[in-house]
Structure 1
Amino acid sequence: MQALQVIELFAGLDANGQAVIERMPVKVSEEDDSCQLVKSPAFVKGIASGDKIKLRPGSQDFELLERSGNLCIRVLSRADISPIAEALAPELEKLGGELDTETERMLVFSIHVSCGFKAIEALINKYVDGQNSVWLYGNVYDPQDGETPLNWWQPILDEN
């Protein structure tokens, strides 16, 4: 992987039927033009920081080549999210997680699945109340139905 570039990925359609395009920083391989995500996306489903993808020619769609083992976690808030960020970010960082994006009402984290779903979820649930703020995984469930677990993490967890 070499040069850092920004690519555009299709994230879906908004309420008005308009395409949502997310700009993502990536490291591009000079060998095969594959891209490694530098951070987890806020809107594109199914991928996380460190994953290796390849853009499909002439589109903003991609093929997933290799998973990094990172989970993409999105936290959303009706109000200013900075109090949650100030409490949650240091706790996730202690587990090796990283705050990739912070806006007024959204946080996006990357954390390796080997930390364990139970530990990660317990930590997030300490700071996210489920009413004024919610959280969700960006790459755990099938992007099509949003319910079927992808189970890509099983071989990683079986190793540990």
Structure 2
Amino acid sequence: MKSLQIIELFAGIGADNKPIVEQLQVRELDDGTLQLVQSPAFAKGLASGDVVRMLPETREFDLVQRSGNLSIRVFSRGDTGALSDQLSPELEKLGGELDRETPRLLVYSIHVSCGFEAIEEILNRYVGRDGQSAWMYGNVYDPADGQTPLNWWLDILKPE
């Protein structure tokens, strides 16, 4: 395994019709693929631990392998400090990690085996109650329509 590096990923088109590019920390693997160290804040369909192959000419990516982690994004009109203080310990009890924290955004990674119900119960307990915040998954729904479940977790959660 090689050292950590920063890549730029295409994350969509902004309201100003300009491309949104997100910088992410990755670990280059021996075969030249890249493993995400954190879940992205804006690039859709990815989570911490996923392995991708970059398409350098477009800054887009091919997903090679999923890690099993969910990417959770918490947005707020106000400061996220209090939300982080409440959410982080609860999600960490389930094995989740806070990947990114800014004054208006929190990004968490947590393994899908923790269960959607348990994760959503925690999120719904704290997020949105103030009318200033909302949460969403970053890699559960098809980026094309934002509604169709990707169902990548079905094989991971299948009883053996």
TM-score (norm 1): 0.96
**Aligned mates of 2:41, 2:56 — CA distance in 1:** 23
Uncovered stretches (5+) of structure 2, i.e. residues with no partner: none
State the Cα distance separating 1:32 from its structure 2 match: 2.1
Q: Which residue of 1 aligns with 2:87?
A: 88
Q: Does 1:68 align with 2:63?
A: no
Residue 57 (structure 1) shift? 3.7
Is the partner of 2:85 in helix, strand or coil?
helix
Deviation string, structure 1 residues 51-73 (Cα, Å, up to 9, x no partner): 00000142201000000000000
Which residue in 1 is equivalent to 2:144? Answer: 144
Return 5+ residue gaps in structure 1 as ranges: none
1:109-144 Cα offsets, whole Å, 9 max, x none, are: 000000000000001111112621100000000011
State the alpha-carbon separation in 1 of the partners of residues 143 and 107 from structure 2. 17
Percent sequence identity over aligned pairs: 57
Tell me if 1:49 matches 2:48. Answer: yes
Which secondary structure does the structure 2 equivalent of 1:73 belong to? strand
Aligned mates of 1:159, 1:46 — CA distance in 2 = 24
Superposition CA RMSD, Å: 1.1
Matches within 5 A, 1:80-159: 80-129=79-128, 131-159=131-159
What code does the residue aligned with 2:124 have?
A: N
TM-score normalised over the length of structure 2? 0.96
* 2:88 partner SS: helix
- Regions of 4+ moved over 3 Å: none
